[in-house]
Structures are given as C-alpha cells and as structure tokens.
Amino acid sequence: MADNKKKITDSLKTKYFKAGSYSILASVIVISIAVVINILVGSMPVKYTQLDMTSNSLYSISDETKMIIGGLTEDVEVYWIVRTGFEDPVVENLLNNYDDLSEHLKLIKKDPDINPGFVQEYAQSYTDNSILVKKGDRYRFIDGNDLYTFDEEDMYSYYYYGQEPTPTGFDGESQITAAVDFCNKDVLPKMYALTGHGEVTVADSFKDSISKQNIDFEEISLITMEAVPEDADIILIDSPLSDISENEKDMLTEYMNNGGNIILLTDVVQNGEKLTNLESLIASYGIYLKTGFVCDGDSSHYAFGTPYYLLPELASHDITSVIADNGYYVLLALAQGIGIDETLPEGVTVTPLLTSSVHGYIKDPEALTLEYEDGDETGAITLAVAVTNDLQSSKMMVIGTSTILDESANQMVSGGNEDFFLNTIEWMSAGENGMGDYTIHAKALESEYLTVSEKAGGLLKIVMIGLIPVLFLALGIVITVKRRRR
C-alpha cells in the first residue's frame, strides 16, 4: 500500500505530469478568456460586432436615420410583430441597428400568436415581420410585405397567377425612419399643388415619396379663394398650359411676401401662349424664361443619343451635393433655359443649380434639325435655379421642365430626379417645421449569397468550432512540452 502511494507521489513529480498540468491549466485559461470575450462581444451594439460587406450597404444605417433617431428626446416604441421561427434576418439586423442609436427608441418584440389582441388593435391584417411605431396616441403600422419592393411584372403574375414575387429592393429603413419621424410630430407640414391651368398631375410614386417625407399633399385651386391657405408650407406649380389670373398672381405674391415657398416647373409652350402673369411673378425675383428648348453638343451631357435628354452639370449646393457625391444623375428632357438679370432685387440671391455644358444651345420648337445652327444661343445654359429672398424669408425653385417629376425619367437615373425634388423640399424647410429631414433609398437586393447545403454547413461548423481550436490547442501543448524539456 505504501509502495503504491509512493509511486503515485513520484509520478506527480515527473516532468511529464507537470507539462500536462501546465497544458490543462493553459487550456482552461484560454477557454475561459474565449468565453468572457464571447460574452462581452455579444453584449456590444451590433454596429461594433458586424461589418457590412454588401455593395449596397444592405445592413448599414444611413446618416439621415442616425440624425433623426439620435435626435429623439422622448420615448418612441417600435414593435416587431413576428411569430417565433419566422424572423426575417434582414429586418432583425435593421431593428438591432435602430436599437443601438438612441435610448429613447424602445424595441419590443411581439408574437401575434401570443398577443393577438395587440395586433388587432392597430391593423385588420398583418404579415410576419410587420412593424408598429408608436408614441402616445400617434402610430404608424407597416406591413411586413411593404418593407420590400417588387417588380411590377412579378406583382402582376402574383395577383393573376399566384406566382410568388421575388423582392427587388428592401425599403425598411426609409419606412421605419419615416414612421418614427411621423410619430414625433404633432402637425405635418403641407404642400399644395396648384390646379386649374392644365397643370401636369403629379405621379403616384412621387406622391408616395412626398408622403414618406411626412408631408401632407393636396391639390388646390385658387380661383375661388381670397388667399393662399395659411397652412401652406410649399406651393407646387407643375407646368401649367395656360396662364394664372392676375388675382392668383397677387395671392401668390402676397404668399411669398409672407415667407412662402414655391416650386415652379415649366415646359416649352407649343401653342405660343404667353404666361404673362406667371412670368411676371418670377421676374420680381430677377429671373426669366428663355424661348425654345436646350440641347447639348457634348455627348457626355446627354443620354440615349438624343441631345435634348440632358444630363446637366450639378452645382455645389445643399440640394445637389448629396446627389453628386453618390454618383447619381439628374435627367431633364426638352428643358427651357432660365435667364438671370444682371441686377437682382434687394435681398434676392439666385443660384444656378443645373446647367448644360459649355456646348449647350437653344433650339426653336419649330426648328427642323437638332443640330446647332448659326443664330442659336450657345454656352452653359441654366436649367434650374434656387432663389432666396432674405428680406421675406421666402424661397423659390424654378426648373425648366416638368420631366423632373416624370416616373420614366426618374427610373433612368435610379431616383436622381426624385432626390433633387425631395432635397428641394428639405432646402426650403431649412430644418424648420420638421419638413424634409431625410431622403433614403430602398436598397437593391443584388448581393450574391454563398449557398451551402445543410451537410456542408454542418461540416464547416465542425471544422471551425471543433477541429481548428483542437489543432491550436495541440500545437500549444507541443510547444510547451518542448520548452520544458530544454
């Protein structure tokens, strides 16, 4: 018995046992450190633990959202309505990013199977991954399907043939940020579109974009009114075919004198009718419309081989800088040139925003050719101007074509026209009245995914979680033993 105890005692003193003890201790320490690091990393905000490598920044938050959510001073609740097991990882990642931006944004997950009454209180129907944003009595419900955009042809096949559509874009950030902004406002600003003169009807897609900016949009006729409504933050005049009346001009002038804002879109008048009163309105700010439409002789400044499909130069300005920095274009077709008086009224500043190249020229609507001819006005021709009157605190945007709000033209430049228009709204608000604080694009779902089978995925887990750590552990033991033998 005593001999056995002595053998055991002696074996514990051997260098092999000591080396093995050190290895086990080192392994325990390494594993403990790994567990602690994993716990710490798991508790860190998503923005510090995940790197977005997608080309379209699918998993990133825009600066506009960071500004709005980071500026919250009161609690806003964001409910993620989804059944267990049906969580959309894209939506989950987005919501986690929102949760990291402000202590005043409260992210709450609700399972509709467990809380059916909660969902029914705010929506008659829903799909998984729906979002409810709520502050006090104000709320906005976003159905899970509405977080994605779909191709029109796919939607046609879905409605008529039941074929499941494939999403083309993810619009979650834009909608959630707009919903938070909506709930954080007591009164929404108002934009009126003037009617009664053959104006172009604003396309539904642009109305939706205006609505996403949390701006009420409504058509209005001033013919039966005595003044522009007091709640009008912006008046849109979209390419009238006939002139406004003298009385309407007086009302719009008074509106501008009291700090109003006007966006005027014009087109080349084919019937030769003069818009005398409308031109008189803008003339009081030192600008005038030129006769004819603008072409460009520089092929890098027009599209589709047509010199009047203009891709104008963008001046450096709050409206255009973001567009240029992101590599977008603005597309204008059959645009009028805009002239600027050499001497402007007191307090008025006129800034050209969109211009042709120095090879631009103006063609008469009756011209038989699109080529430059002797007598055509030539040079860098102004196509859009931003006007401010510091004495009145009023602003005006004049764009020489209604195609800035044309859906087809906007699609051809990936939303660049829409950005210009929405940025104009933001510029006119200048942070006041809560108007136009953001322009967030839907993100195209064009990322390439690495798809592996479940078997291959299991093998990868074994290699990454089991084999590689074991190999490193074995290497550490070998190195330790060799050092002890020296």
Radius of gyration of the chain measured on its C-alpha atoms = 32
Check residues 396 and 158 and name the one with the higher pLDDT: 396
pLDDT reading at 46 higher than 70: no
pLDDT reading at 228 higher than 50: yes
Average pLDDT over residues 8-26: 56
| Among candidate residues 175, 172, 173, 181, the one with its CA nearest the CA of residue 72 | 181
What pLDDT score was predicted for residue 63? Answer: 82
What pLDDT score was predicted for residue 155? Answer: 60
pLDDT reading at 221 higher than 90: yes
Contact criterion met (CB below 8 Å) for 212 and 480 = no
Which range of 115-119, 149-153, 161-165, 381-385 scores highest in mean pLDDT? It is 381-385
Per-residue tokens: 58: 């699918």
Mean pLDDT value across the chain = 83
Which range of 166-175, 257-266, 441-450 scores highest in mean pLDDT? It is 257-266
pLDDT reading at 340 higher than 80: yes
Check residues 447 and 87 and name the one with the higher pLDDT: 87
Contact criterion met (CB below 8 Å) for 382 and 339 = yes
Count of Cβ atoms closer than 10 Å to residue 166 Cβ:
11
What pLDDT score was predicted for residue 328? Answer: 87
% the chain with pLDDT above 90: 52
User: How many Å apart are CA 218 and CA 194, to the nearest integer?
Assistant: 9
Average pLDDT over residues 40-49: 51
Range in 118-122, 238-242, 252-256 the model is least confident about: 118-122
Average pLDDT over residues 270-290: 88
Bridge-based pairing state of the strands 394-399 and 382-389 = antiparallel
Contacts 24+ apart (CB under 8 A), 181-184: 181/68, 181/214, 181/434, 181/437, 181/438, 182/133, 182/138, 182/140, 182/214, 183/76, 183/133, 183/134, 183/135, 183/136, 183/138, 183/139, 183/140, 184/72, 184/74, 184/76, 184/135
What pLDDT score was predicted for residue 67? Answer: 87
* Spatial CB neighbours of 375, under 8 Å, sequence gap ≥ 6: none
Contact criterion met (CB below 8 Å) for 359 and 225 = no
Average pLDDT over residues 387-409: 95
Average pLDDT over residues 361-387: 93
What pLDDT score was predicted for residue 436? Answer: 44
What pLDDT score was predicted for residue 24? Answer: 66
Q: What is the 3-state secondary structure (H, E, C) of the chain?
A: CHHHHHHHHHHHCCHHHHHHHHHHHHHHHHHHHHHHHHHHHHHCCHHHHCCCCCCCCCCCCCHHHHHHHHCCCCCEEEEEECCCCCCCHHHHHHHHHHHCCCCCEEEEEECCCCCHHHHHCCCCCCCCCEEEEEECCEEEEECHHHHEEECHHHHHHHHHHCCCCCEEEECHHHHHHHHHHHHCCCCCCEEEEECCCCCCCCCHHHHHHHHHCCCEEEEECCCCCCCCCCCCCEEEEECCCCCCCHHHHHHHHHHHHCCCEEEEECCCCCCCCCCHHHHHHHHCCCEEECCCEEEECCHHHECCCCCCEECCEECCCCCCHHHHHCCCCCCEECCCCEEECCCCCCCEEEEEEEECCCCEEEECCCCCCCCCCCCCCECCCEEEEEEEECCCCEEEEEECCHHHHCHHHHHHCCCHHHHHHHHHHHHHHCCCCCCCCCCCCCEECCCCCCCCCHHHHHHHHHHHHHHHHHHHHHHHHHHHHHHHHC
What pLDDT score was predicted for residue 25? Answer: 64
User: How many Å apart are CA 434 and CA 398, to the nearest integer?
Assistant: 23
pLDDT confidence band for 454 (50 / 70 / 90): very low
What pLDDT score was predicted for residue 479? Answer: 79
Per-residue tokens: 184: 């954080």
Q: What is the largest CA-CA distance in the chain?
A: 122
Per-residue tokens: 119: 């969902």
Decide: pTM greater than 0.75: no
What pLDDT score was predicted for residue 7? Answer: 53
What pLDDT score was predicted for residue 224? Answer: 87
pLDDT reading at 42 higher than 60: no
Average pLDDT over residues 4-20: 54
Per-residue tokens: 94: 């987005």
pLDDT confidence band for 62 (50 / 70 / 90): confident
What pLDDT score was predicted for residue 453? Answer: 36
Contact criterion met (CB below 8 Å) for 328 and 420 = no
Per-residue tokens: 66: 């960071």
- β partners of residue 254: none
What pLDDT score was predicted for residue 33? Answer: 73
Check residues 130 and 24 and name the one with the higher pLDDT: 130
Check residues 146 and 219 and name the one with the higher pLDDT: 219
Average pLDDT over residues 276-305: 94
What pLDDT score was predicted for residue 432? Answer: 46
Instruction: Give φ, ψ of 386 to 5 degrees.
Output: -105, 125
User: How many Å apart are CA 320 and CA 329, to the nearest integer?
Assistant: 10
Average pLDDT over residues 407-423: 91
| Among candidate residues 305, 356, 358, 357, the one with its CA nearest the CA of residue 335 | 356
User: How many Å apart are CA 94 and CA 60, to the nearest integer?
Assistant: 8
What pLDDT score was predicted for residue 5? Answer: 56
* Domains of the chain, first to last: 2-46+450-485 (no CATH), 63-180 (3.40.30.10), 189-429 (3.40.50.880)
pLDDT reading at 190 higher than 70: yes
What pLDDT score was predicted for residue 274? Answer: 84
Predicted confidence (pLDDT) per residue in 125-138, tens digit: 889 999 999 999 99
Per-residue tokens: 212: 């996403």
Check residues 24 and 349 and name the one with the higher pLDDT: 349
